[in-house]
Amino acid sequence: MSGRSAVVAGLGVYAPERVLSNGDLEQMLDTSDDWIVSRTGIRERRIAGPGETASSLGAHAARRALDDAALEPSAIDMVICATNTGDTPFPCTAGRVWLRLDAPPRPAFDVQAGCTGWVYALELGRALIVAGAVERVLVVATDVLSSIVDWEDRSTAVLFGDGAGAVVLEAGTGDRGVLGSYLNCDGVGGPLLMLPAGGSAMPANQETIVRRQHYMKMAGNDVFRFAVRALPEAIAGALEAAQLSLADLDLVVPHQANARIIEAAARRLGLDLDRFMVNIERYGNTSVASIPLALAEARDEGRLKAGDVVAVAAFGAGLTWGAAVVRWGR
């Protein structure tokens, strides 16, 4: 690849300290550790503490990404934040993250594309850098799903956790960086995973509260079937855009929604599960943050080194799906 590229200059993640185990959930709901582990692969998840919000988690991750890149906040030209659980419906959480970094004003906005949001934000950052509009973009992912989970609904409550991640994307000229992407959305599947109330379609009132319509609703089986198809399609699309093949991938870091979805996607692709990073056991589904959290863990374990080619792939509410192929490092 020649010309201008967008390379990953730094990565940082953050997960709240409070751990909620399957054993804890057994005390709250009619569920069992056995059921949760065998159906999802999840053993525990992190839950935001009092006063912790999407922007506070995101700011921790952003600070770490900037440290990792050895950059001051003033070196950043733009902040894009992927989230589905912003501190408030508006103003944007990107601006709040940035404020917490005590940094000079910069263009900042949110991307809302379900759990695929961070992959969308990454592609947006890449495109702006390659177009020459900016030199460095901070791409944040943060979600506090515990704030929209119905803790009385065992079919969803056991699945989710809170977390954040961020990367610094910067202009480069070598063969590193985001090599190709694939994004898609099919609104037909929108009702399968949604938060019904609180928007213009169903403004908040006493009835929406009584009917628990401010909590996430999901048709789990339908989303499962979609995901098993969507992950391989997105990876194939991003590889095609990068003019690479499956054999070129050193690692695949999929959205961590369910270990069985990842296993089924690996089978469909004909790739050994060893090539996939899976850490859902300890975090559950952290939505937009799941890929950065898994990337950071892969790097810490020595499974992701500078020069490696990694595919990141996600699916989520929308229904959205997408992937990017990245040659890691500056």
Q: Is 257 in the site for ligand ACO (CB under 6 A)?
A: yes
Residue whose structure tokens are 């839950």: 47
Answer for which of 74, 88, 221, 243 binds ligand ACO (CB under 6 A) is 221
Report in angstroms how near the CB of residue 103 gets to ligand ACO at its nearest: 30
Question: Interacting stretch for ligand ACO, rule CB under 6 A, among 31-39, 70-78, 165-173, 305-313?
Answer: 31-39
Answer for which of 293, 316, 326, 327 binds ligand ACO (CB under 6 A) is 316
* Contact residues for 27 (Cβ-Cβ < 8 A; gap 6+): none
How far is Cα 188 from Cα 244, in angstroms, rounded to an integer? 31
Token output for 45? 């998840």
Q: Is 147 in the site for ligand ACO (CB under 6 A)?
A: no
Cβ-closest position to ligand ACO: 220
What are the distances in angstroms from CA 291 to CA 122, 164, 314, 315, 324? 12, 10, 8, 11, 11
Q: Which helix (H) or strand (E) holds 194?
A: strand 193-194
**Packing angle of the helix pair 33-40, 259-269 (nearest 10 deg):** 20
Q: Is 35 in the site for ligand ACO (CB under 6 A)?
A: yes
Report in angstroms how near the CB of residue 80 gets to ligand ACO at its nearest: 19
How far is Cα 232 from Cα 329, in angstroms, rounded to an integer? 24
Report in angstroms how near the CB of residue 306 gets to ligand ACO at its nearest: 29
- Selecting among 115, 185, 258, 279, the annotated active-site residue is 115
Strand pairing of 18-21 and 44-47?
A: antiparallel
Answer for which of 6, 11, 115, 140 binds ligand ACO (CB under 6 A) is 115
Strand pairing of 5-14 and 18-21?
A: unpaired
Annotation says 22 is catalytic: no
Amino acid at 273: L
Q: Is 31 in the site for ligand ACO (CB under 6 A)?
A: yes
Q: Is 158 in the site for ligand ACO (CB under 6 A)?
A: yes
- Selecting among 84, 185, 255, 279, the annotated active-site residue is 255
Answer for which of 55, 258, 269, 313 binds ligand ACO (CB under 6 A) is 258
Answer for which of 155, 190, 241, 303 binds ligand ACO (CB under 6 A) is 155
Kindly list the catalytic residues. 115, 255, 285
